[in-house]
Structure 1
Amino acid sequence: MSVTTIQTGNGPRAFFSSGTEAKVPPFEEIPMIDFAPMDSADAAERAKVGEAVRKACTEVGFFYAKGHGMPQEIIDATFGAAHRFFDLPLEAKQAISVEKSDAMRGYTPLLGENTDPDNNGDLHEGFDLALDLPEDDADVQAGVYGYAPNQWPELEDFRGPLTTYHAAAQEVGKKIFRAFALALELPEDFFLGKITKPMAHMRVLHYPDQNAAEGEKQIGIGAHSDYECFTILCTDEKPALQVLNQAGDWIQAPPVPGAFIVNVGDLMARWTNDYFQSTVHRAINQTGKERYSIPFFFGVNSQEVIEVLPTCQTPENPPKYQPITCGDYVRSRFDATYAHRIGETVE
């Protein structure tokens, strides 16, 4: 097997080229963490969750999250809305093209995104939303990156389920942020003041079967690391996610009923001086059926400065990264991966 290198927002990452195949070990290799104790008044129980998160984020970069508290009916309604949207004619979807939104809200067609520059486009279509802010919002008026109204299709019973899921995912994300703080030996509420108006980008994605692709250079989503602090992923029952381990092998991460899949993003890796690793992953749908997923990318407020935490640096291990705002970093990564934004620069 040959070694392939991909570029991430935090530098190059290498993996062994093995086509579209991945090893299939027991899924316990990606740890399962129960977040129900984060609702407990017992600090010792919450600390145990933090320790489990620390171990997962330093050794794997991914974990399953059960006991998260999001009702199943919210998840089911969102998948139902996604099916109805992607069944619309292309013309109706293109009417709210993501190209009309500098904040990346709206519809992205098949091959409209390319997360791995060595590939020929990602074999999925998507609808993107984030905090749904009015035009007269002060940050929208000031042009702060990431703050904008969403674009919505003319489709009954679509906006409601997605905004309900978006709000519920933020509550799940707050629990995870609290656990991250405990894992990093910070006050439990350390991150909460930084997510009062978060870069909370959500997508609903539709993947056709991989057999519709033109060879191995066109897969569901190419090898990449995520941009924000962490991702909360909900998928249907069809396996497609593959995670790159430290040995350079692709490991299957099958869906687990009742659990989200959570992974560290590049911003959290920068914040922790790479103590928490953002892990390269990809999605290849070889099930013979269509696949749907809902990734929720949780970042902090757009103008929050990300600089290496005091608990993650020493004189022997100085900061590897220069400070950058959340908004500037996320924008730079969008500019590098969406076809209509390639070559744009941050103003």
Structure 2
Amino acid sequence: MKLETVDYRAENAAEQFVQSLRDTGFGVLKNHPIPQELVESIYKNWYEFFINGQKNDYHYNVETQDGYFPPDVSEVAKGHTVKDIKEYYHVYPWGQIPPELKDQILDYYRRANEFASELLGWVEAHAPKEVQEKFSIALSKMIEDSEMTLLRVLHYPPMTGDEEPGAIRAAAHEDINLLTVLPASNEPGLQVKAQDGEWLDVPCDFGSLIINIGDMLQEASGGYFPSTTHRVINPTGKRQESSRISLPLFLHPKPEVVLSENYTADSYLKERLRELGVL
């Protein structure tokens, strides 16, 4: 089994995309409206940001979670004990952003959010009626004007040989949010766990867009859309000398949105962040 790439311009793109999400938890799109040159420029500019000392001027705010997270506070994936090998920056439109990077990254944030709203519309339109009825409001409305949607700029540094035993770039985990929208990285390594337990390589053709289901959509759909386990494995050979930049957009509903009889978006998020040790 492998993940197939769906052509956004195809007549049945929405149906193919949602079927891929349903089968694997992931969908891969080509010929989508996010400009590749914008993504390439962001990768280049933020790589420069991560390799100079300026990043330390933007240390994250504990209360609001915006800003730069150094490697020593990197996440420990749920069920794991070793920190991931990464550093990252949390971008919110209302948060701290380096002035020279702000206009470009917020342009991407806006474009990706608009496109994501369309994808949520696809998901809802191609869900069975009984699943649609579980949604408290339209999926695209859940993220409308949300200040919780997070754009994370990730830097996985080159391997040094001194990594903690058992540490990988991103240990196996599921995302918390509704959908995650991710341009293909500048380096491979992303894998998804298939239903039979096999790890599948996610296509990383530059210019592709990778979308996966998060726990909140699984909760809101009563499990119909599975939140899929994924990871970023360590590189081998010459690739160990290269950084990897990644740009996931985590679509979060407004805090008051009802996901299920058990959770609002806010209560669900806080529960998960406590499990991760972030709160």
> Which category describes the TM-score, using the shorter chain as reference length?
0.7 to 0.9
* 2:33 is the alignment partner of 1:76: no
1:332 counterpart letter in structure 2:
E
**Aligned equivalents of 1:279 and 1:54: distance in 2?**
14
Q: Secondary structure at the match of 1:70?
A: coil
Counting only pairs closer than 5 Å after superposition, residues 143-162 of structure 1 correspond to structure 2 as 149-153=94-98, 157-162=100-105
What's 1:32 paired with?
5
**Aligned equivalents of 1:210 and 1:247: distance in 2?**
31
Report 1 or 2 for greater relative contact order, CA contacts < 8 Å, sequence distance ≥ 6: 2
Structure 2: gaps (5+ residues): none
2:96 counterpart letter in structure 1:
Q
**Aligned equivalents of 1:294 and 1:213: distance in 2?**
26
**Aligned equivalents of 2:107 and 2:257: distance in 1?**
25
* 1:21-56 superposed Cα distances (whole Å, 9 cap, x missing partner): xxxx7xxx112222235xxxxxxx4xx333223321
**Aligned equivalents of 1:87 and 1:214: distance in 2?**
18
CA contact (8 A) 2:186 2:246 kept: no
**Aligned equivalents of 1:111 and 1:247: distance in 2?**
34
The Cα shift of 1:332 comes to 2.4
* 2:76 is the alignment partner of 1:123: no
1:103 counterpart letter in structure 2:
T
Counting only pairs closer than 5 Å after superposition, residues 177-196 of structure 1 correspond to structure 2 as 177-185=120-128, 186=132, 190-196=138-144
Q: Over alpha carbons, which structure has the higher Rg?
A: 1
**Aligned equivalents of 2:43 and 2:186: distance in 1?**
12
CA spacing shift, 1:30–1:195, aligned 2, 3 Å: same
**Aligned equivalents of 1:159 and 1:66: distance in 2?**
27
What's 1:19 paired with?
none
What's 2:258 paired with?
305
1:110 counterpart letter in structure 2:
P
CA contact (8 A) 1:33 1:52 kept: yes
* 1:189-224 superposed Cα distances (whole Å, 9 cap, x missing partner): 932322222231111111023454535521111110
More strand by share: 1
CA contact (8 A) 1:111 1:123 kept: no
**Aligned equivalents of 1:294 and 1:212: distance in 2?**
25
What's 2:68 paired with?
107
Q: Please, what is the CA RMSD of the aligned residues?
A: 2.2
Aligned length: 267
CA spacing shift, 1:171–1:282, aligned 2, 3 Å: same
CA spacing shift, 1:256–1:213, aligned 2, 3 Å: farther
Q: Secondary structure at the match of 2:150?
A: strand
What's 1:267 paired with?
216
* 2:231 is the alignment partner of 1:282: yes
The Cα shift of 1:284 comes to 1.7
Structure 1: gaps (5+ residues): 1-24, 38-44, 133-148, 308-321
Q: Secondary structure at the match of 1:232?
A: strand
Counting only pairs closer than 5 Å after superposition, residues 40-59 of structure 1 correspond to structure 2 as 45=11, 48-59=12-23
Q: Secondary structure at the match of 1:306?
A: coil
1:123 counterpart letter in structure 2:
I
**Aligned equivalents of 1:295 and 1:205: distance in 2?**
8
Runs of 4+ in structure 1 deviating by more than 6 angstroms, as ranges, are none
The Cα shift of 1:334 comes to 2.4
What's 2:276 paired with?
337
Percent identical pairs in the alignment equals 25
What's 2:193 paired with?
244
* 2:155 is the alignment partner of 1:206: yes
* 2:170 is the alignment partner of 1:227: no
**Counterpart selection for 2:55 from 90, 93, 106:** 93
